[in-house]
Amino acid sequence: MPLVPARSTEDLDLLLVEDIITDLDNVHRLRDALLALGYGVVPEARHFQFSREVSVHGQPRVVKFDLLASRPADPARVKINGPRIRPLAPGTSTRG
C-alpha cells in the first residue's frame, strides 16, 4: 500500500493549568524551558506562541506551541486582555 502524503497542522496546543498561568515565576520557567529546547518567540504572538524549524523525512517543517489557558477560579490573580491571559506581577492587583 503506498504511503499517503502527511496531513498535519504545525501547531501543538498546550493548555496551561491554573498553577502555571497564575504564577509569574512558573510562566518564566516554562518560557525558559521552551527557549532552551530551541523554540523562539513568534513575534506576532509573543508570550503565547513559540516555534522552531525541524526536519521531517528530510523536509524542513515548523513546529509551533500555542500556549492556552482557561479563566482561573480566581480571576483577580491574572490580567485578561482579549484572548490573552497573564499572571499579575508581584504586588499588583486587578482591583482599583
Q: Which residue has the cell 523525512?
A: 57
48-67 confidence digits (pLDDT tens): 899 999 998 898 999 999 99
**Residue 5, in any domain of the structure:** no
Residue-wise pLDDT for 11-47, tens only, equals 899 999 988 999 999 999 999 999 999 999 999 887 8
Q: Where are the beta strands (DSSP E) in the chain?
A: 11-16, 40-41, 49-56, 59-69, 78-81, 84-87
Residue 19, domain member (yes or no): yes
Give how many domains the chain has, as a whole number. Answer: 1
Q: Is residue 75 part of a domain?
A: yes
On whether residue 33 sits in a domain, the answer given is: yes
Range of the domain at 64: 11-87
User: CB-side exposure of 59: number of CA atoms within 13 Å?
Assistant: 6
Close Cβ partners of 62 (under 8 Å, ≥ 6 residues apart): 10, 51, 52, 53, 54
Question: Does the residue 1 lie in any domain?
Answer: no
